[in-house]
Amino acid sequence: MHSHLIPAIDDGSRDMEMTLDLIKGFEERGFRKLITTPHIQSDHYVNSPSTILPGLEKVRQALADKGSTMQIEAAAEYYIDGSFFELLARKELLPISGKYILVEMSYLAEPPSLKKAFFEILLAGYKPILAHPERYTFWHRELNQYQDLFDREILLQLNINSLAGAYSPEVKRVAEFLIKKGLIRFLGSDCHHPGHLFAMDEARRHPLLHELLESGNLLNSQL
């Protein structure tokens, strides 16, 4: 879960050829089901069910033409901004497995509306998943914030490649901290391009990844 595989609708796969190559890479690494999550952000990626779902069907058809048995579904990764609250109020969202809403925010500063967003997601009957919390550098010196989120029933999703140092040594350190504290409930690839698959190969050797996989804490298998 959490990838950017539908061609040419965000900063992920640029065309169907790249999409099929990426999905083949997932197959070769043992994956059998993917939930891809294009960005929805009002000032950059103006996506909606009308762009995402037809794109998903094209990917499924291309996979069928190739004889692939990979299962693929689509939801969205929502940027917390004003338009997100409008979509939430109208329930015009693409949840993961019908109940989880994947959200992200600025890497530079916590948005003032963050707690409001989580509260309203829960009030609307969904379960919020915060994408890659280890990458929000403004919390790196306030690690108690992660426990606070966990206690508020915000589900934290770790990017696998954070354990390979793909973003920075500091992000890797915080990713390790979150696993050790038992705060991670989902793993995602956040795959945008082939380089992310190669980084995943390194991350899969990290002992803490195996510890997390064996912990019983992950909810990926329920999706």
Torsion angles phi and psi, residue 53, rounded to 5: -70, -40
**pLDDT at residue 43, rounded to an integer:** 84
Pairing mode, if any, of strands 39-40 and 127-131? unpaired
In a domain, 8, yes or no: no
In a domain, 6, yes or no: no
**pLDDT at residue 199, rounded to an integer:** 96
Token duo for residue 29? 């690494």
**pLDDT at residue 141, rounded to an integer:** 95
Q: Which residues of the chain have pLDDT under 70?
A: none
Residue with token string 């990017």 = 159
CA dihedral 130, 134, 138, 142 (to 10 degrees): 100
Query: What's the predicted TM-score (pTM) here?
Result: 0.96
Number of domains the chain contains: 1
Q: Is the dihedral of CA 24, 30, 33, 35 positive or negative?
A: negative
Helices (H) and strands (E) in the chain, counts: 8, 8
In a domain, 9, yes or no: no
Range list of β-strands (E), 66-205: 71-74, 77-79, 100-104, 127-131, 155-159, 184-188
In a domain, 101, yes or no: yes
In a domain, 7, yes or no: no
Token duo for residue 150? 């966990």
**pLDDT at residue 117, rounded to an integer:** 97
In a domain, 183, yes or no: yes
In a domain, 1, yes or no: no
- Residue 109's alpha-carbon distances to 5, 106, 165, 187, 216, in angstroms, are 28, 6, 22, 23, 32
Amino acid at 221: S
In a domain, 99, yes or no: yes
CATH code (residue 135):
3.20.20.140
Domain with 37 in it: 16-222
